Amino acid sequence: MTARCIALLIAGLSCLPCVVHGQESFDYYISNSGNDNYSGTLPVLPKKTIAAASQYFLNCFSKNGRVRVGLQGSDLFKENLTTSYPIQVGTYTVSGAASNFATLDGSQAFESGWVKDSVFSNIFEQDIPYSGFKGYGIGGIGSYSYIYVTEIDRELEKTAPITARKPLQFVASIDAADATAGSFYSPVNTTENPKHVYVHASDGSSLNNNAKYRYEVTVRDWAINSTYQPDNVFENLWVRGFGAGIGMLP
């Protein structure tokens, strides 16, 4: 998908996997099984993290007039990227692996540390540290982007990982959260970090090591911010858990 203005709410060589022939080539390859000491310029020598590779992207663009980044399909990347130049991001696969979307995830698991509120009957609360939520189109929490809470059904996640994820209802006050199972409240404030979050679980029980659900909270603003850069291309990416939004990028 081409976008002219988009902020995405989006070992030894003998042991390394073979890349499926005939697929698109990239300037840099990134894989959960990679190594940040690798060059990243070959699919058999991928970088492990976007952060380690991103320092080379601008040089590549300046030299070639483009930079194309491949994320290994089915991998999960808990990172984000901001560029001042156009970028093309897609996926690549290795032999024997299904050709699936790569996922960019802006959330973090919080399965402990929740404290029962002493005043309200059903509220568990915690301070959540976050990064970002600034720059063009955001300007802080509550201006386009929000911190939100996702409740994941542990059993359903084994067979239907997307369906298992339920963003909790964002209500307007602590009182409303206390009265509404499966909801949360956090003051809209552009300066407070960490952010205090109040949650009422769907089953009304504690969020700490809950037997039925686990919980993730947004800690990053957007997946890829390349706003106002012409000729951006994003393909086969799934974005979730970011303040700027979630969804499928075809």
Residue 44, classed as helix, strand or coil, is coil
Give Cα 126 distance to the centre of its chain.
Answer: 21
Question: Which pLDDT tens digits describe the chain residue by residue (250 residues)?
Answer: 443 333 343 423 223 344 443 457 999 999 999 999 999 999 999 999 999 999 999 999 999 999 999 999 999 999 999 999 999 999 999 876 666 899 999 999 999 999 999 999 999 999 999 998 877 667 788 877 889 999 999 999 999 999 999 999 999 999 999 999 999 999 987 778 999 999 999 999 999 999 999 999 999 998 998 888 888 999 999 999 999 866 554 4
Which one-letter DSSP state was computed for residue 18? P
**Residue 63: DSSP 8-state:** H
Residues 6+ apart with CB under 8 A from 243: 9, 106, 132, 133, 138, 141, 145, 146, 147, 148, 218, 220, 221, 222
- Beta-carbon contacts of 155 under 8 Å, excluding residues fewer than 6 positions away, are 212
pTM: 0.85
